[in-house]
């Protein structure tokens, strides 16, 4: 009985050990080769997505202030991706936001008048329930629209909120929300020293355009290969990418970003973190069992 057990142990040792070592080397060479090939591809830049909502009746004017703001921001913001929606196109805006999710670095919502309310509604009613964070909201003389909901309270999924408003003096001139809880509230008439600003002119003011452009630049998210969020870029981040834990799961662009931030072709780092070829070992075990049955 003891002799049979010893013989089995010897057979298992001769069968498995050389093959496991060989397969480990094959797996390592394959991983390093793939890293070199993937690493030669340029990282795809993440977009800074800006969603803009026009005010009431702005759809009658093809040259609304939001259209001009969109054109201005396209020239100022790197990797810019912007689109203008009417104030009541919240669902369409939400769909567009979701379509860009895998390639987005920063999300900004902007709206004038009814559209200012729409910006908060999209953040609160559409994005918050599915766990999507908004980096910046900018309300421009925001007025509660027909859909109701929040207009003077910054949703909890919004990181930074800015509320620009003017003081209405005309009988028929709407007064935008002058205090949004959780946001920074700014009177543009005081800011620019210009009491002539009105509800219908505030969204087409080049001075405000420049300021909004700077607001966005101040709140851009930098792409990082620190996938495990531990404060550095190392082999553990490569393992996180390998397991689908980077922003764009299993993408060559995330791997290229990691390679760049790690400091060159990551051969040594990858050699240290290439996992055991467990799937192949399972096959070997099954093969060994069959071989033993023949002994």
Residue 163, H or E segment? strand 158-165
Q: What pLDDT, in 10s, does the model give residues 135-166? A: 999 999 999 998 877 889 999 999 999 999 99
Do 129 and 111 belong together in one domain? yes
- What value does the mean pLDDT of the chain take? 81
Q: Residue 280 is part of which domain span? A: 227-295
Last residue of a domain, one of 197, 218, 239: 218
Q: What pLDDT, in 10s, does the model give residues 209-225? A: 999 999 999 999 876 77
Do 169 and 241 belong together in one domain? no
Angstrom distance (rounded) from CA 253 to CA 46: 10
In a domain, 38, yes or no: no
Do 156 and 262 belong together in one domain? no
In a domain, 10, yes or no: no
Domain tally for the chain? Answer: 2
Look at residue 235 and tell me whether its pLDDT is greater than 90. no
One DSSP character per residue, 241-252 reads HHTT-SSSTT-H
Last residue of a domain, one of 161, 192, 218: 218
Do 122 and 236 belong together in one domain? no
Do 244 and 210 belong together in one domain? no
Last residue of a domain, one of 187, 218, 249: 218
Query: What was the pLDDT predicted at 224?
Result: 75
Q: What pLDDT, in 10s, does the model give residues 162-176? A: 999 999 998 889 999
Do 51 and 143 belong together in one domain? yes
pTM for the full predicted model: 0.70
Cα-Cα-Cα-Cα torsion 221, 226, 230, 236, nearest 10 degrees, comes to 170
Contacts of residue 224, defined as CB under 8 A and 6 or more positions apart, other chains included, come to 233, 257, 261
Do 174 and 288 belong together in one domain? no
């Amino acid at each position: 009985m003891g002799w049979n057990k010893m013989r089995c142990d010897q057979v298992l040792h001769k069968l498995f050990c050389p093959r496991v070592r060989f397969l480990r080397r094959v797996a390592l060479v394959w991983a390093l080769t793939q890293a070199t090939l993937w690493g030669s591809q340029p990282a795809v830049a993440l977009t800074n997505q800006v969603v803009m909502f026009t005010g009431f009746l702005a759809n009658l004017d093809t040259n609304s202030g939001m259209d001009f703001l969109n054109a201005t921001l396209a020239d100022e913001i790197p990797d810019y991706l912007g689109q203008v929606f009417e104030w009541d196109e919240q669902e369409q805006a939400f769909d567009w936001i979701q379509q860009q999710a895998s390639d987005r670095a920063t999300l900004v919502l902007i709206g004038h008048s009814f559209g200012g309310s729409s910006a908060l509604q999209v953040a609160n009613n559409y994005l918050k329930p599915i766990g999507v964070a908004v980096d910046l909201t900018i309300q421009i003389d925001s007025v509660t629209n027909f859909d109701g909901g929040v207009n003077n309270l910054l949703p909890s999924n919004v990181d930074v909120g800015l509320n620009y408003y003017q003081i209405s003096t005309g009988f028929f001139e709407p007064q935008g929300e002058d205090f949004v809880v959780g946001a920074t509230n700014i009177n543009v008439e005081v800011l620019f020293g210009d009491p002539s600003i009105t509800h219908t002119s505030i969204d087409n003011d080049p001075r405000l355009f420049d300021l909004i452009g700077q607001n966005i630049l101040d709140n851009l998210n930098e792409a990082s290969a620190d996938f495990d969020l531990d404060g550095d870029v190392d082999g553990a981040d490569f393992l996180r990418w390998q397991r689908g834990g980077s922003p764009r799961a299993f993408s060559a662009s995330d791997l290229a970003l990691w390679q760049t931030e790690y400091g060159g072709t990551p051969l040594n780092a990858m050699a240290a973190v290439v996992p055991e070829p467990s799937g192949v070992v399972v096959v070997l075990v099954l093969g060994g069992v069959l071989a033993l049955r023949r002994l």
